[in-house]
């Protein structure tokens, strides 16, 4: 049985967040609002929970989920070889609609799928998402939809697609962005691998970022 819980008001969302935190701690899945689209999340360090997330979306291990973090400082805990250009992009666009693919710290005890030693990281600009992340720590989060279907911009749309595979749905109203994040691959020369909420011109005002080399088909769906 899934619970759809209101989290529109910080003054009253305490109980809703408590239930979401407990669901994550038990290895369950939660749907949460972000500044782009709704996401489906699991504890990034619980492999069975990440596997359940991929199964709920109808996605294989070859498309690992990104990781949402509550603070830009978390980047150094998850990633290695973070360049000055990446730090400049983070300073300019976090929290916000930018996902960055970096080399993952090799010591991390997680299994996000076939990542080839990388991790896609984002800090969302949404108060409810950040409040949840501050309590859970990094969450593996992908867009809250079945693969091949439109990303959900409301909790109801997410529920229609994901149903009882998710323990808790946090309803924060309509997602304000409605467009998925831009994904930049920083494992080599900076390159956009999915166009999204932040345009290439804005990125290039901060760092030397190349546009997509081919039609957008990135690893994962970062929400």
Domain segments of the chain as ranges: 3-204
The tens digit of pLDDT for each residue in 141-192 reads 999 999 999 999 999 999 999 999 999 999 999 998 888 899 999 999 999 9
Residue-averaged pLDDT of the chain: 93
CA 198-220-161 angle, to 5 degrees, is 100
According to DSSP, the residues that pair with 118 across neighbouring strands are 103
Whether residue 50 contacts residue 111, with contact meaning beta carbons closer than 8 Å, is answered with: yes
CATH number of 3-204, picked from 3.10.20.30, 3.40.50.740, 3.60.21.10, 3.90.870.10: 3.90.870.10
The tens digit of pLDDT for each residue in 83-127 reads 999 999 999 999 999 999 999 999 988 999 999 999 999 999 999
Q: What's the CA gap between 110 and 156, in Å, rounded?
A: 31
The tens digit of pLDDT for each residue in 24-60 reads 999 999 999 999 999 999 999 999 999 999 999 999 8
Rounded (10°) CA dihedral 73, 78, 83, 88: -40
Of the listed ranges 12-21, 153-162, 206-215, the least confidently predicted one is: 206-215
Give φ, ψ of 206 to 5 degrees. -110, -40
Q: What's the CA gap between 60 and 44, in Å, rounded?
A: 16
Q: What's the CA gap between 38 and 207, in Å, rounded?
A: 28
At 215 the pLDDT is 52
């Amino acid at each position: 049985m899934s619970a759809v819980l209101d989290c529109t008001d910080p003054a009253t969302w305490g109980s809703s967040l408590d239930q979401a935190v407990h669901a994550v701690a038990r290895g369950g899945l939660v749907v949460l609002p972000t500044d782009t689209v709704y996401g489906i999340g699991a504890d990034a360090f619980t492999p069975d929970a990440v596997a359940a997330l991929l199964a709920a979306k109808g996605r294989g291990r070859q498309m690992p989920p990104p990781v949402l973090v509550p603070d830009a400082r978390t980047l150094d805990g998850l990633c290695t070889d973070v360049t000055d250009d990446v730090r400049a992009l983070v300073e300019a666009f976090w929290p916000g609609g930018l996902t960055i693919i970096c080399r993952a710290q090799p010591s991390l005890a997680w299994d996000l799928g076939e990542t080839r030693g990388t991790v896609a990281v984002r800090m969302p600009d949404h108060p409810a998402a950040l409040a949840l992340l501050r309590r859970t720590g990094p969450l593996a989060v992908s867009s809250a939809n079945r693969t091949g279907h439109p990303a959900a911009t409301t909790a109801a749309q997410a529920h229609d697609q994901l149903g009882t595979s998710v323990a808790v749905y946090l309803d924060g109203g309509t997602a304000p962005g409605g467009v998925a994040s831009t994904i930049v691959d920083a494992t080599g020369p900076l390159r956009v691998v999915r166009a999204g909420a932040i345009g290439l011109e804005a990125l290039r005002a901060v760092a030397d970022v190349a546009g997509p080399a081919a039609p957008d088909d990135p690893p994962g769906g970062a929400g």
